[in-house]
Structure 1
């Protein structure tokens, strides 16, 4: 009976019919995911394991809010919020924002990153810096045999763009007419140009501009120019900027400040934004009220409706004394 709690499909809801978030938002799977198994979430309590199994099968961009999950799962919003927080503590889930660089304008979008494997805080910190590949990848497979038959045809088709260009090169420059064997041998060199972002016109210009007269060996000249004029590799794309948020209050912070996915105040630690020794605002207001009462004034600074007595140093405190008390109340020593 206990194994039924960890069923891979404990709900009648279908993940493919789950509501989607706004375009660009919602669930995102982290890189380095291993194949799905039936024991991925056995280390979690039954409810959290069932929720994690459902989230794992959701498509990219699915709405991950507790309100939406409550409409398809047999749990209430409070129970789902607790389950999601426990998935954060276990290392399967993180919430945050990601900086997108589009054609219009840069913007930040809210993400919910899910990992089938439990990740520690160090892994999530590396993930926010643009990394996140599995630190212990599976061993490299054994070298596959050379493709034959249909596989060889598919590999040849991947270089068809380069083959077509080389075969038609003689139409642009008759002195560079190539044989079928020459085209097959030079196709990988031409394909390298396309892999680096060059267009057909870029390759043709590099091969046909300033040809010598006469061309004694079209294949040798084409090979030399494809190698010597190969454009540089494009720069790598800039790393994606990510910021994690507290799973409880949503406050953004550095990964080092969010161990277990929660900020210090949500874990019961003092708020680091307050200066050392500073009194909370509630105590400051209480001390100020006591100072006003001692000065014979009401809460808003108006004279209180009390019987006036003769002023004396022992029975009355002037406005200067009230200010001194208020200043003293706000000092750390008070």
Structure 2
């Protein structure tokens, strides 16, 4: 069978057509160097197609129809199934990227979508692809083919200041007494009022603005600095800033099989839920196909009714 002939000679890359400018193959970063046996962990058919794709230059056409046409062993349906398996194995992802047109040729404006197929000789897991397509730096190091790598995320501190340093809100409250003795607060007072001051900063104010708002128009005598500051923090709380409208994502992954777009983290193995579960009836366009089939069948029945019966 053709499936077992993975050692067949590969067609020359020069014979494979290129995609339109801005489309086609893109190589993922940080791959292991090419070597014999890169794809021995894959079945014969997948290994053959993987070796072919790995040899293609940047921007080469990566659709199933073209791949089937320019190699001798497998037809279009077999190539489609193979691309799905390579996607699940972590070697391939299809992506839509939104690009701005402003300045192109001096007249073009707006945005358009370009379509890439990212190829990685080194198998990657879903976390790695999500990080890469979201624009994060790819994790350092690579893994052997057939071994699913683990994306390592560096922990982030919730506050940029060093451990043990007071927060900006706490420091602003502690500094009130230095600006005006009438608002001198103890360490305990600052700790109790810190959350209210944090709410101010979370709404876009600066520590200096907070300080000025608390010190403005003080009465001649403040009997309880903590109660006074607390009252002002509540009464003068600035409004919340409106949430800016969300922008359309710049990068969308496509299901390798049916092409439905989605966020990278939603397409596990590069496939949508319907394609992962084999529920082809849930795929886009399937409803239209069923309707067309029904209409064709109805037309056949009507034609048979109209035909005169032979005696």
TM-score of the two chains, using structure 1 as the length reference: 0.46
Higher Rg: 1
> With CA pairs under 8 Å and 6+ residues apart, which has the higher RCO, 1 or 2?
2
TM-score of the two chains, using structure 2 as the length reference: 0.49
